[in-house]
Amino acid sequence: MEEAPPIVHGQRGDEDGDSGIGDIDSSSESDSTSVRSNTKDYVEENGRLYHADWIDGKYLLPNDEREQRRLNSQHDFLFDGNSLHKAPLQGLLNVLDVGTGTGRWAMAFADAYPDAEVTAVDISPNLMPIWPPTNCKFLVDDAEHFGGIGNKEYNYIHVRLLHGFRNPARFFRHAWEALLPGGYIEIAEFELPLKFHDQEKARDSALMTWSANVIEGASRLGIDLTIAEKISTLLKDRGFEGIEESISAWPIGAWPKKNERKELGVRLQEYWMETLTAFAWRPLREMDWHNEETQCLLAKMRTEICGKNIRASMHVRTFWARKP
């Protein structure tokens, strides 16, 4: 069996990013097989395993096997019968996948484009695969500050869930510096607050309570969960051109009447239960909720997801733009 590419650590620039972004440091065997020590520190809360940065509210989501299953389901729903990208890509590609999670997208892209070179980065090494394709390598680092982007190296940068960044404008500056002229950036983002077809009926629902309080709690931690509505402006301000967007609505529950949408809602039920639960704990803790209160909210929310009275949905917005 051909040896898989190593998982490597990033070479960090200065903390505020003003010095730009350096290259991946893989100059020695020890470097190529190591990660920064703080990327391997974990804490356990509420029966789940989290990255150590969860305490400070920097990284909201778990990084255990249950979270791996959720992320893999998310990939399946995002790309079910759809292209791996919406940006019009041509020719040989040097690709960066930011916030790769379990690496499903990065590996699928590497398989679909065997002449491409894919670099995938995430803060949690235990989410990453052991045997990626030979044209796909994984970098363990904090993508907001990491030193692996490079300078005018990439034709395409793929990003999911930009709301994890405290300073999205800085990230777009780094991405701009990393892209070759004519290169594309593409961002997929969930839009919050949740959408309700009957606001009055949903006013006292657990889902609306979740939406309002998780957004506020994350905001107190310096995380903007409503970033989707700002991405187009951020891209334009950075100088990107040809900005395009697509929106798809994912039903939360089996309430849609049309068979195709109803089937999607049924398939998404377990995913939404896992996703909304995963996002709840740290922001609600910041809102001074006790664990019992959070558990009660999550139980009510699961009942609503399995029912048809509260017609809620989450919009998935995808943006792509070109560096001139």
Q: How far apart are CA 280 and CA 160, in angstroms?
A: 19
**Among 19-33, 93-107, 155-169, 288-302, which is the least confidently predicted range?**
19-33
Indicate whether 80 pLDDT > 90. no
pLDDT for 56 equals 64
Amino acid type, 62: P
Assess whether pLDDT exceeds 50 at residue 16: no
Q: What residues have CB less than 8 Å from 281, skipping those under 6 apart?
A: 45, 46, 48, 294
Percent of the chain residues past pLDDT 90, beyond the cut: 55
Q: Which of the four pLDDT bands, split at 50, 70 and 90, describes residue 108? A: very high
Q: Which residues contact 71 (CB under 8 A, 6 or more apart)?
A: 101, 102, 104, 127
Q: Where are the beta strands (DSSP E) in 52-172?
A: 94-98, 117-122, 136-140, 154-160
Residue 10: pLDDT band with limits 50, 70, 90: very low
Average pLDDT over residues 210-237: 96
What are the residues whose beta carbons fall under 8 Å from the beta carbon of 38, sequence distance 6 or more? Answer: 52
What are residue 6's phi and psi, to 5 degrees?
Answer: -75, 155
Per-residue pLDDT, averaged over 37-55, amounts to 69
Instruction: Please tell me the predicted confidence (pLDDT) of residue 53.
Output: 64
CA dist., res. 131 & res. 305, Å (int):
36
Greater model confidence, 101 or 56: 101
31 pLDDT above the threshold of 70: no
CA angle in degrees (0–180, nearest 5) for 64-302-276: 45
27 pLDDT more than 60: no
Domain ranges, ordered by start, for the chain? 7-190+224-250+314-322
What is the arithmetic mean of pLDDT over 147-173?
Answer: 83
Query: What pLDDT was estimated at residue 78?
Result: 85
- Sorted by sequence, the CB contacts under 8 Å of residue 185 that are 6+ apart come out as 87, 156, 157, 158, 159, 172, 175, 179, 235, 240, 320, 321, 323
Contact indicator for 301, 183 with CB cutoff of 8 Å:
no
- 261-297 confidence digits (pLDDT tens): 999 899 899 999 999 999 999 999 999 999 999 999 9
Select, from the ranges 52-56, 73-77, 81-85, 238-242, the one with the highest average predicted confidence (pLDDT).
Answer: 238-242
Interval 168-188: pLDDT, tens: 998 999 899 999 999 999 999
Backbone angles phi, psi at 276, to 5 degrees: -65, -30
Q: Which CATH architecture has domain 7-190+224-250+314-322?
A: 3-Layer(aba) Sandwich (3.40)
Give the chain's mean pLDDT: 83
